């Protein structure tokens, strides 16, 4: 058996991703395909999905506020989870893995989706300071999918807002290729 990662044609991976998303959609406030599938690569090695889980307040026996319930966890009950915790889960399907990146804070969606869309070189370029060959202004930094500046936290509930905040024009996912942006 080879250590080389198996790859799948784009159309088949998209079909599996859309079926997975449809199956867990009710457990999410927001969900979107990321990674090489979003970049429309001809072949993909895994499926990456970013989501915000739907959390609902339960009711106790007396009608008061009960335990909070994560509906995403309920929707994932039928899947084989091979890795993960609160913010990341790897789900094994028969022919490909799904990397599910769970973003609990809507204000950080834009940064997380941009980074998880990749490519790896592009994502690294996005979060590297300009003085070091990256895209990030010297007064900003990214930590745990949140954009900070010397003035404070910058919310990025949309990917375009993240690009705008760091002084970039929108770059289509298909144009975020390895080597093009890295120096």
Domains of the chain: 8-102 (3.30.460.10), 106-175 (3.30.210.10)
The model carries a pTM of: 0.89
Residue 153: burial class (beta carbons within 10 Å; 0-12, 13-18, 19+): exposed
Q: Three-state SS for 158?
A: coil
Q: Note the pLDDT of residue 179.
A: 63
Confidence of residue 178 (pLDDT cuts 50, 70, 90): low
Q: Note the pLDDT of residue 40.
A: 96
Q: Note the pLDDT of residue 47.
A: 97
CA distances from 181 to 40, 44, 83, 87, 126 (A): 18, 21, 31, 28, 9
Question: Which carries the bigger pLDDT value, residue 85 or residue 59?
Answer: 85
Q: Three-state SS for 107?
A: helix
**For residue 111, pLDDT beyond 80:** yes
- What percent of the chain is modeled with pLDDT above 70? 94
**For residue 113, pLDDT beyond 50:** yes
Which structure tokens are listed for 85?
């915790």
pLDDT in tens, 2-39: 345 689 999 999 999 999 999 999 999 999 999 999 99
**For residue 153, pLDDT beyond 90:** yes
**Mean confidence (pLDDT) of the chain:** 91
**For residue 96, pLDDT beyond 60:** yes
pLDDT in tens, 34-81: 999 999 999 999 999 999 999 987 777 777 777 888 899 999 999 999
Q: Note the pLDDT of residue 76.
A: 96
- What percent of the chain is modeled with pLDDT above 90? 80
């Amino acid at each position: 058996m080879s250590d080389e990662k198996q790859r799948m044609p784009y159309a088949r991976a998209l079909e599996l991703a859309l079926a997975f998303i449809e199956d867990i959609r009710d457990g999410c406030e927001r969900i979107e395909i990321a990674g090489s599938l979003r970049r429309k690569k001809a072949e993909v090695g895994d499926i990456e999905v970013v989501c915000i889980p739907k959390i609902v307040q339960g009711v106790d026996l007396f009608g008061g506020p009960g335990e909070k319930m994560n509906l995403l966890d309920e929707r994932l009950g039928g899947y084989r989870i091979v890795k993960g915790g609160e913010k990341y889960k790897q789900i094994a399907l028969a022919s490909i893995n799904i990397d599910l990146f769970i973003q609990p804070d809507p204000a950080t969606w834009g940064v997380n989706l941009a980074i998880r869309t990749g490519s790896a070189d592009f994502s690294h370029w996005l979060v590297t300071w300009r003085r070091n060959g990256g895209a990030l202004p010297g007064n900003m930094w990214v930590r745990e999918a949140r954009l900070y500046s010397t003035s404070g936290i910058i919310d990025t509930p949309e990917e375009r807002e993240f690009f705008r905040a760091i002084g970039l024009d929108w770059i289509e996912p298909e144009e975020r290729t390895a080597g093009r942006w890295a120096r």
